[in-house]
Amino acid sequence: MAIRPILYIPDPRLKQVTAPVTEITDETRALVKDMFETMYDAPGIGLAAPQIGVMQRIVVIDCAKRADDAEVAEGEEEISDPITLINPEITWVSEETRVYEEGCLSIPEYYEEVERPDRIRIRYMNLEGETIEREADGLLATCMQHEVDHLNGKLFIDYLSRLKRERITKKFEKAARRAAE
Ligand code: K2U
Ligand code: ZN
């Protein structure tokens, strides 16, 4: 088990389309364990493999409330609901949309409102190789769409105005140049 470094923009790997998983191996299982450990440590409620530099179509998610979540009442039991999505495909989206203030572990400390379909149907393979098709709504649907975007090299800032997007990317490009000096 290892906490892996999370890539920040403008790393070009975050803009690449990732490759489907063709076989679930011990290496895949070890990678998923590292992805969950990295996500919980961040902390986050989702993480896509390209965010740790692995260009495969793998996502981990856990949108359940945990004791460290401010909304969890004192004494409420700590719960978690880890979901592993291999080769996820969104097969249907609702016309109804929902606006959520999104952030991204690869674009730290920036939060902007993004409008996305409120309900989705998603098909994926789990770590046991079973094909799952399920519906999701609310925050889980937002998170799933955010993560599937990562697998296609798309970031939440791509939904913002060019002005807002460029203001954010310029800050990270400047920081990357300084780090390279
Ligand atoms: O993919 C990532 O960068 C992790 C994202 C997942 C996410 C983004 C927007 C909306 C929902 C999920 C987050 O940075 S995880 C941090 C977080 C925690 C609670 C609520 C929203 C975002
Ligand atoms: Zn993200």
Task: Read off the pLDDT of residues 28-77 as tens digits, 9 standing for 90 and up.
Answer: 999 999 999 999 999 999 999 999 999 999 999 999 966 455 555 666 66
User: Is the bond leading into 50 cis (omega within 30 degrees of zero)?
Assistant: no
Task: Read off the pLDDT of residues 139-155 as tens digits, 9 standing for 90 and up.
Answer: 999 999 999 999 999 99
Domains plus CATH for the chain? 12-180 (3.90.45.10)
For ligand 1, pick from 63, 98, 105, 114 the residue to mutate: most ligand atoms within 8 Å of CB. Answer: 105
pTM over 0.85: yes
Taking the centre of ligand 2 as the mean of its atom positions, its distance from the CA of residue 146, in whole angstroms, is 6
Rg (C-alpha) for the chain, rounded Å, is 16
Instruction: Specify the ligand 1 atom closest to the Cα of 48.
Output: 1
* Active site amino acids: 147
Helices and strands (H, E) in the chain, number of each type: 3, 7
Q: Residue 50's closest CA among 19, 85, 82?
A: 19
pLDDT of residue 46: 98
Pick from 1-15, 61-75, 79-93, 95-109: least confident:
61-75
Residue 164 pLDDT class (50, 70, 90 cuts): very high
Going by alpha carbons, the residue nearest to atom 14 of ligand 1 is: 104
Q: What is the mean pLDDT of residues 87-102?
A: 98
Q: Which residues contact ligand 1 via a Cβ below 6 A?
A: 44-48, 100, 102-106, 142-143, 146-147, 150
Q: How far is CA 146 from the centre of its chain?
A: 6
Taking the centre of ligand 1 as the mean of its atom positions, its distance from the CA of residue 97, in whole angstroms, is 18
